C-alpha cells in the first residue's frame, strides 16, 4: 500500500516538473491601454502656405459679383448699355455713409449685368451689389462652404492648370467670392439714384449717364470663384481646369503634423510626453497646408509630442436627459 502511494506521489511530481520545464503558458495578447503613446514627434521649423485646391472649367463670358467697397446705403446709377466692351471702369452705383459717397465700378473689360439688391438698401463692405459679365474666357470654380470661408477674406494668388493644356499660370480673381441672386436690370424711368440720402450732394460725384436701354437680367449662380488668364493663353470653352489658391504664406514657423493636434480655428491642444507620460497643453494654431499646422504659441520647439493627439472631452450630459 505504501509502495502504491509513493508511486503516485512521484508520478505527480514528475508531471509537475514536466509542465514547468517549458516555462509559463503564453498569455493571450490584448489591446494596449487607452492613451498609450505609440509615436512621438518633435516640432520643426519650416515655410508654410495655406492652400486650397479647386476644380473648375473654362467658361465664356462668366458672370461675377461686384462688391460694395464700404458700409452704407447703395444708390444705383442709370447705366447706359455700351456699344462695345468698355476699355475703362464703368460706375454703376454709389455707397453713401455720413454724407460721403464711395463709387462702385464694374472693371474694364466687363459689362454691367444687373442690380443684386434693392436701391437704397443698407449694405456692408464686401457684399455683392452688382453683377457683371466678363467679355472673354475665364475659369469658374464651384465652392463648398468650407472652401469659401478659407479664401473669401483673402483670395491671395491663384495658379491655374488646364487639363492636358496650358499652365500653370497666374489667374486674376474677378469680383467677390459668393453665390449671386438674379441680377435685376435698371428701370427705364428717370432715376434719382445718384442723389445722396441727405440733402447735401458733393460736387465731385459724377452725374448719371444718359438714358439706359433695356438690359437682360443675369441668372443666379452658385457659390463660385471666377478668374481670368493672362493674354495669349489658349482657352477652350468647357475644358476642365485646376486652381491652386494660396491665401497666406508664413516663413520659418514652428509646425507639427496635423495628426498630433486636436482642434482648429486658432486654438488647439497637444500631448507633450514627459517621463513617458502625456501632459496636455493648449496651443495657438496658425496656417495649415493639410499635412502640418503652424504652432504660434504654447510650445518652444524642444518638446516631444505624442501622435495621435489628445481626444477632446465630450460634453457631459445629465442622467435625466438634457436640461430645459
pLDDT at 113: 94
Mean pLDDT, residues 290-296:
90
Whether 74 and 197 have beta carbons less than 8 Å apart is answered as no
95 pLDDT band, cuts 50/70/90, is: very high
Mean pLDDT, residues 187-209:
52
3-class SS at 305?
strand
Mean pLDDT, residues 301-310:
92
* pLDDT, tens only, 30-49: 444 555 556 899 999 999 88
Q: List residues bridging with 293 in a β-sheet.
A: 256, 288
pLDDT at 233: 96
Percentage, residues of the chain above pLDDT 70: 73
Average pLDDT, the chain: 82
How many Cα neighbours within 13 Å face the side chain of 195?
6
Cell numbers for 244: 491652386
pLDDT at 35: 54
pLDDT at 200: 44
Query: Regarding beta strands 122-123 and 172-178, do their DSSP bridges make them parallel or antiparallel, or are they unpaired?
Result: unpaired
3-class SS at 201?
coil
Only one residue has cell 470654380, namely 141
Tell me the torsion sign for CA atoms 176, 178, 179, 183.
negative
Amino acid at each position: 500500500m505504501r509502495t502504491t502511494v509513493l508511486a503516485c506521489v512521484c508520478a505527480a511530481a514528475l508531471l509537475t516538473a514536466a509542465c514547468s520545464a517549458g516555462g509559463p503558458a503564453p498569455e493571450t495578447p490584448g489591446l494596449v491601454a487607452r492613451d498609450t503613446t505609440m509615436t512621438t514627434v518633435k516640432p520643426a521649423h519650416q515655410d508654410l502656405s495655406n492652400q486650397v485646391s479647386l476644380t473648375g472649367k473654362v467658361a465664356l463670358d462668366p458672370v461675377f459679383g461686384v462688391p460694395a467697397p464700404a458700409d452704407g446705403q447703395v444708390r444705383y446709377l442709370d447705366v447706359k448699355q455700351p456699344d462695345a466692351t468698355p476699355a475703362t471702369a464703368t460706375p454703376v452705383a454709389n455707397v453713401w455713409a455720413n454724407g460721403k459717397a464711395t463709387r462702385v465700378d464694374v472693371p474694364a473689360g466687363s459689362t454691367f449685368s444687373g442690380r443684386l439688391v434693392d436701391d437704397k438698401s443698407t449694405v456692408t463692405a464686401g457684399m455683392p451689389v452688382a453683377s457683371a459679365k466678363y467679355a472673354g474666357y475665364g475659369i469658374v470654380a464651384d465652392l463648398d462652404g468650407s472652401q469659401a470661408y478659407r479664401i473669401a477674406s483673402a483670395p491671395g494668388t491663384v495658379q491655374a492648370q488646364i487639363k492636358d493644356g496650358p499652365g500653370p499660370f497666374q489667374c486674376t480673381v474677378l469680383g467677390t467670392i459668393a453665390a449671386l441672386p438674379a441680377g435685376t436690370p435698371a428701370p427705364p424711368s428717370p432715376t434719382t439714384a445718384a442723389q445722396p440720402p441727405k440733402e447735401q450732394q458733393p460736387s465731385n460725384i459724377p452725374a448719371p449717364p444718359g438714358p439706359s436701354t433695356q438690359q437682360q437680367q443675369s441668372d443666379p449662380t452658385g457659390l463660385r470663384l471666377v478668374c481670368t488668364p493672362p493674354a495669349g493663353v489658349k482657352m477652350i470653352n468647357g475644358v476642365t481646369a485646376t486652381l491652386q489658391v494660396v491665401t497666406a504664406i508664413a516663413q520659418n514657423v514652428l509646425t507639427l503634423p496635423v495628426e498630433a493636434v486636436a482642434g482648429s480655428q486658432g486654438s488647439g491642444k497637444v500631448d507633450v510626453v514627459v517621463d513617458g507620460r502625456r501632459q496636455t497643453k493648449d496651443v495657438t494654431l496658425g496656417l495649415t497646408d493639410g499635412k502640418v499646422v503652424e504652432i504660434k504659441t504654447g510650445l518652444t520647439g524642444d518638446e516631444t509630442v505624442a501622435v495621435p493627439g489628445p481626444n477632446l472631452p465630450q460634453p457631459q450630459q445629465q442622467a435625466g436627459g438634457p436640461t430645459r
